[in-house]
Amino acid sequence: MNNLSEILEGVRTVGIGGHVRPDGDCYGSCMATFLYITKWFPDIQTDLYLESKREIFRYLAGFDAIRTEAEEGKIYDLFITCDVSAMDRLSVAEELFKTARRTVCIDHHVSNTGFADVNHIRGTVSSACEVLYALMDEEKIDKDIATALYTGMAHDTGIFQYSNTSPETMRIAGELMKTGFDFSRIVDETFYQKTYLQTQVMGRVLAESIMLRNGKCIVGYLKRRDMIFYGVTGQDLEGIVSQLRLTTGVEVAVFLYELEQQRFKISLRSNGEVDVNKVAVFFGGGGHLRASGCDMTGTLYDVINNLTEQIEAQFQELGI
């Protein structure tokens, strides 16, 4: 099954689901799949599940069709996951995935071992959206579908500057741009633009960040009480770890925030040879060589010490 047309053969009902705390690639790949099926396979009843509706992505066609709660007892002929690295990352639709008659996984995380009946996993490409593009008939990619695909590719490549950006990534982006959507607005409003509150919080994290290993590792953090004080959620903290990564001399950037008492969400970024996916996998997470994440429990200082111990091991191995 090398394209969506083959995957959808004989199917009457389809569910689509993304990962917890959905980001741009998750929204883009899920929405593009939803739009492709509803436009070109209108006889198939299609539902899309994400745990939240983030307003910055409201420009995506079909946004209002997103379901944030699973329909109990629903059994789909086919369930498709997009940008989901493991079944337990499937957010609100995990039970729907388990009960579906057939399942498909479309992903690009190197840590994904393939948990569906059919797996399209390419750990070397930029994004789930790039994997998805290869499964679509190019002549069926209209402006709305192209907008969703471009959104995911732009977000997961850091606006085409991360190491996962290949010549093929740029070629696909160029093809998508030919459909005529406003690519500059997408980048400004969903990637760079911050509210005043988000800017304040980022400033605090940067001001209180810690430099370790002779300036080769930087750690930023936000405690639960501070998140409550500012009234922010994890979705308000995007971009902080990328800003930390840009610090001169830094090889690895770490950002962690407290989801609940002594449970932290960790984001890791590498500027060079350090494989932060190995660090994340060690703690039960995963991702990519230069961008990865995990959840950890313990005090703030225990979590930082445990993380930096694994990072230090790689520094020693690489002679950094």
Q: Is 64 exposed, middle or buried (0-12, 13-18, 19+ CB in 10 A)?
A: exposed
Q: Are 244 and 251 in contact (CB under 8 A)?
A: no
pLDDT the model gives residue 163: 83
Residue appearing with tokens 């902080």:
240
CA dist 14 and 290 (Å) reads: 33
CA dist 33 and 263 (Å) reads: 33
> Taking the CB of residue 76, how many other CB atoms lie within 10 A of it?
24
pLDDT the model gives residue 91: 87
Residue from 189, 190, 207 nearest 247 by CA: 207
DSSP type of residue 285 = -
Strands 45-49 and 102-107: unpaired
Residue from 297, 296, 291, 298 nearest 272 by CA: 291
Determine the Cα angle at 86 with ends 45 and 272, to 5°.
125
What is the mean pLDDT for each group of 10 consecutive residues in the chain (320 residues)? 91 97 95 98 98 94 96 94 93 94 96 94 95 97 98 94 92 98 94 92 97 96 96 92 96 97 96 92 88 95 96 91
In the chain, what are the domain boundaries?
4-192, 196-318
Residue from 135, 71, 79 nearest 105 by CA: 79
Could you name the CATH architecture of 196-318?
A: Roll (3.10)
pLDDT the model gives residue 216: 96
Domain 4-192 annotated CATH 3.30.365.10 = no
pLDDT the model gives residue 1: 67
